Structures are given as C-alpha cells and as structure tokens.
Amino acid sequence: MKSVSISAEKRVDLGKKEAKALRAAGKVPCVVYGGETVQHFAATEIAFNNLVYTPNVYAVAIDIEGTTVNALIKDIQFHPVTDRIIHIDFVELTPGKSVNTEIPVVINGNAIGVRNGGKLRKTLRKLSVRATPENLPDAITLDISKMKIGEKIYVRDVDAKGFDILTSGNAVIVAVKTARNVVEEEEEEGAEAAADAPAAEAPAAE
C-alpha cells in the first residue's frame, strides 16, 4: 500500500479547551491506537488534504516529534456546519498484525453491454477487507470489458489474494443494466415504421 508522511506534535493536555485551541490554530487533534500505547497528537489541517479528500487509501507515516508511527485512518469527524475536520482516529500498523479497512474499487475496460446501449451501475465503491499491512492492496481492480447487458459482478467474484474481504459475498459491485430510454426509443421507432408501411392489398375475389 502506498504511504504518505505527515509531521505532528504531541498533545500534552487532552481536554476540550486544548482541542478547541488547536482547531483555532488550524490544527486537528488526533489519536492513534492499536499499538503498545495510545498516542495523542495534532497536525495542521492542510496536512490531511491528500488523505481525506481522495478516493484512494494510504498508509500514513506520522512523525510525532522524531518518532514515526505507521497507521491507517480509522475514523474522521467533521464539523456539522463548516465540514472542517475536527478529529481523526488512526489505527497503528504492525507488521504481521491484521487490520480492518476499506479499499477502493477501480473499474477497468469498456463493457460490451454499455457499447450495445446498456447502462453501467457501480453499486460499491469500496470493499471492507482484513489483512496484514504488507498485504493491503492499493485498490481492488475489476475488468468489465466482457460484461454484457444483465450481467453483474458480485463481491464473491473478486480474486482476493493475501487479504480477506469482509463485505457480504452476495453484494453486487457493478452491473450492466438495460437502458430504459434506449429500449423505449427502439419500440417507438418500430411502431412508427409499422404505421408508415403501406397496407397489404386484399386478394382479388374469384
């Protein structure tokens, strides 16, 4: 899994007053757990832009005043009015120790069914997985180029190597649906063609 780095500072006071002061200074209170100790820290809000506002998932190398902790974002809290980040929970990555996270689904190819007038419907954009840090994929890639109208790809169809998928196997990831407007247009064209066709002559009486 790809990794990005951020610089952070330790949090000494953990009360609401200190958290409020940090946010006023443009910083985000954070916590990382899952390791030997729980660590509280803060980093500038701008440092998280490439982590939060993206469909990708990254491991994060957090430099807390000279000590680096590798982690994944577990939960993000946003302000209900301004949508600014007000708190982030991280889970520490330890080699050989499995963690749960969500991995984005990437679609490749142009489905046959879409070329024939169908409509592509992507139901799941991320899948919940469990794996050790060294086996976490950057993305789950699906080739849809051979999909026809009416066909679906289920979670159970994904070839998961080195990780377990926690999302229900019966869940649909992507499907090619019949485009109703295309069908209606075809039916209308057929009806118009039938109406414009000359009527057959009646056979002559003997």
User: Which of 75, 68, 102 lies closest to 89, judged by CA?
Assistant: 75
Q: Is the pLDDT of residue 150 over 90?
A: yes
Tally Cβ neighbours within 10 Å of residue 206: 3
> Are 107 and 174 a contacting pair, CB within 8 Å?
yes
The average pLDDT across 195-202 equals 47
User: DSSP 3-state assignment of 36?
Assistant: coil
Instruction: Identify the residue with better confidence: 61 or 204.
Output: 61
Type of residue numbered 142:
L
pLDDT in tens, 26-50: 999 999 998 889 999 999 999 998 8
Dihedral of CA 113/115/121/122: which sign? Answer: positive
Q: Is the pLDDT of residue 64 over 60?
A: yes
The average pLDDT across 158-168 equals 94
Give the whole-number percent of the chain exceeding pLDDT 90: 73
For residue 181, the model assigns a pLDDT of: 52
| pLDDT band at residue 195 using 50, 70 and 90 as cut-offs | very low
Type of residue numbered 14:
L
* Entry pTM: 0.76
> Are 124 and 173 a contacting pair, CB within 8 Å?
yes
User: Which of 159, 167, 157, 173 lies closest to 125, judged by CA?
Assistant: 173
**92: its two tokens:** 């520490």
Q: How far apart are the first and last CA of the chain?
A: 86
> Are 101 and 58 a contacting pair, CB within 8 Å?
no
> Are 153 and 140 a contacting pair, CB within 8 Å?
no
Q: Is the pLDDT of residue 185 over 50?
A: no
- Min mean pLDDT across 94-103, 169-178, 193-202 is at 193-202
> Are 122 and 176 a contacting pair, CB within 8 Å?
no
The average pLDDT across 192-201 equals 47
Hey, what domains does the chain have and what are their CATH numbers? 3-94 (2.40.240.10), 101-193 (2.170.120.20)
User: How far, in Å, CA of 14 to CA of 104, rounded?
Assistant: 34
Which residue carries 């009360």 as its tokens?
A: 15
